[in-house]
Structure 1
């Protein structure tokens, strides 16, 4: 039986280096293993915070179609800008409120135009659009309606990382956003998302979590023998994923057990969008403890963090509902214990408990976190800390498993 054909619509796709490209990339890479060939409809090169050119090869490009666009990031690229600074992004948030549903609306008409040509020539069986950006769903909805194709709308977030009421100041914009969400979920043949909380928000039970990159996961190895216990900071540091709880914990350990603290080193790899990050390091007197590497390609990131013995991830309590940041799956694949600043009841907290290789703590239970850190350091000193990358408990969270679940939904609607 011939493979089914899917047109996957995603504004964010490699070489875009942010977390938003991981899910569509995983589907692009692994859906063919389950009888579904994938073409990508995305945007031509854009200005961005980060890029990762290591994921795609020349053969891949034959299945990736990049349309013109008149959105701000594409226009900045055309004017010679390549890397966006945090200051530019901050201004962009203000500017994005002038667009609806988001600043990628200038991509929609051009993506639809190219999509029509692709559908007429390649005869796809179904369409899938994934957000953010919500504009991707406008493309999917338009093409599915015109060509009477089955359509899956995939939500990696609520609207952005925030619900509409937390994103817009204008009541009319909030109402407009909810009206569009209702239209998308009504017209789509299936609605998928990454967490139960977002599923409840959208009214869907098709929950397919994000995943770790199966190929890159093979690069994880057990840490080499070192004279320092290494805590890894993987991924973006911003107002959603925060680092200060770890700094408080380390500062407390430094004040009570200086000898043990002296054995700790922190390695940071990822974008830093907290303007006060270095100031906080100084305030907690930890500048000499942390090695800052900023954003790196994913292969390099793993190479750097292979020295780590434990990984930290913290979620801002104001925003943690429904947040299951994709980096946690890379952490699971690494085999390192996870020190999570979150509630036990949060989706992240439940996941850490499910894999049984980590602990959660909050401000009022910081001693629990300190105790867990001390135990891991002592186990490391006594050669009792066992780290097994890609252990069996990690396999359900691989990009292969994610693709398998999506393939089942595709086959069910056809």
Structure 2
């Protein structure tokens, strides 16, 4: 088999959507003649925002996984603010920002470029060189965020002439919370220079949506041709091969993942309020994930008749079980600049569950295109309370149907085949 080295900071027992992408690719690569070898950070030294110990069970016994030590700059951040929680989800888990948190953001944005996990790079590079020589590897894949991981690939390319594929799951200098880092003009320019160096030097760039492909292509002058490939996130059919009892006494709306004040809920809450009283009393609104108190208080205040179930953060298997228990699944795209390219990883798991998706976000973007293609639900503008109310009513009456067969192209196995065939691993 051809051997490929995958360099990723996030790996089990790290939790969150970012882990799933390459965990699932490594599961299926051997089926297409590729032996993946993984290089990651020592989990005992890493600064994970979320942990999911259950994901370790999904790492194949035969998969070679190597870890290295690191210098975690987030340790300094935690000492500075006096808290043990690492920010994630665009700082959605941080409320009522203190002076110390602002200072920490200034330090993070201006001294830790491109990000605080760059302390792993020196150790990862040294180990990567060893593995490349030991296993006679000629292709390396770096996946980010953290985008500092791409600097490892850049150095390997320059020093060893290795074939290098850069997988970028999120924007770099265009990420929606970039302005919250209080970066100076010098720091912004430095970050932009690093981003462009990576885009120019990589032999192949892989990203998750058409909008991100356009964004990176524009930075390269619009002349990249086939250099940038879109391989979206997806779902693993094995994760959904479970039987979960579904209660018929409640209509369950489920939202999973992070949420913040950037997620416009005005139209949704208005639609739910306008349902008649009996319908409202029959609804259970389930939030799976870490939800800020200000969001919870608003929902309780505006929807007093609707039962609210606050589940909190759960492991991946448990999250899937909540999807399968749902009547309808809620997806909200943050109302931010350049959000037409956002297709969250959890959307594909919504898709796999076979339950209708009520999506709220920008019209004319990548998400709307996939929803139309798969016929899995409907996308509404943030203010379209009438449309949202109509879909909720149809589902409450059991008259909204979806076609599950159209989702198969987004299975992890199919996407792995696309990855192998189109970038010619």
| TM superposition score normalised by structure 1 | 0.87
Q: How does 1:35-114 map to 2 (within 5 A)?
A: 35-45=33-43, 46-57=46-57, 59-60=60-61, 63-73=64-74, 84=86, 86-87=93-94, 91=101, 93-97=105-109, 98-114=111-127
Q: Residue deviations 1:191-236, cap 9 Å, x none?
A: 1111111111111541111111332132376x63511111111222
Q: How does 1:239-258 map to 2 (within 5 A)?
A: 239=261, 241=263, 243=265, 245-253=267-275, 257-258=276-277
Determine the structure 1 residue equivalent to 2:223. none
Determine the structure 2 residue equivalent to 1:289. 307
Determine the structure 2 residue equivalent to 1:179. 193
Take 1:171 and 1:84, find their aligned partners in 2: how far apart are those partners? 26
Take 1:172 and 1:407, find their aligned partners in 2: how far apart are those partners? 39
Q: Is the 8 A contact 1:268 1:292 kept in 2?
A: yes
Q: Residue deviations 1:10-63, cap 9 Å, x none?
A: 111111111111112121211111111111111112243321111224754851
Take 1:298 and 1:18, find their aligned partners in 2: how far apart are those partners? 8
Take 1:66 and 1:161, find their aligned partners in 2: how far apart are those partners? 30
**Residue among 318, 333, 339 paired with 2:336:** 318
**Residue among 158, 165, 187 paired with 1:152:** 165
Determine the structure 2 residue equivalent to 1:408. 421
- What SS class does the counterpart of residue 55 from structure 1 fall into? helix
Deviation at 1:94, TM superposition (A): 4.3
Take 1:84 and 1:118, find their aligned partners in 2: how far apart are those partners? 31
Segments of 5+ residues of structure 1 without an aligned counterpart are: none
Q: Residue deviations 1:77-104, cap 9 Å, x none?
A: 99xx986474499736444212111111
Take 1:183 and 1:247, find their aligned partners in 2: how far apart are those partners? 45
Q: Which deviates more, 403-412 or 82-91? A: 82-91
**Residue among 193, 216, 223 paired with 2:207:** 193
- 1:162 equivalenced with 2:175 (yes/no): yes
Deviation at 1:242, TM superposition (A): 5.4
Q: Is the 8 A contact 2:350 2:357 kept in 1?
A: yes
Q: Is the 8 A contact 1:232 1:312 kept in 2?
A: yes
Deviation at 1:316, TM superposition (A): 2.1
Take 1:128 and 1:220, find their aligned partners in 2: how far apart are those partners? 36
Distance 1:296 1:235, change over 3 A: same
**Residue among 232, 247, 271 paired with 1:209:** 232
Q: How does 1:297-312 map to 2 (within 5 A)?
A: 297-312=315-330
**Residue among 110, 119, 123 paired with 2:132:** 119
| TM-align CA RMSD | 2.8
Deviation at 1:375, TM superposition (A): 0.7
Distance 1:29 1:340, change over 3 A: same
Determine the structure 1 residue equivalent to 2:407. 394
Segments of 5+ residues of structure 2 without an aligned counterpart are: 88-92, 218-226
Q: How does 1:198-277 map to 2 (within 5 A)?
A: 198-203=212-217, 205-219=228-242, 224-239=246-261, 241=263, 243=265, 245-253=267-275, 257-272=276-291, 274-277=292-295
Distance 1:374 1:16, change over 3 A: same
Q: Is the 8 A contact 1:7 1:38 kept in 2?
A: yes
Determine the structure 2 residue equivalent to 1:28. 26
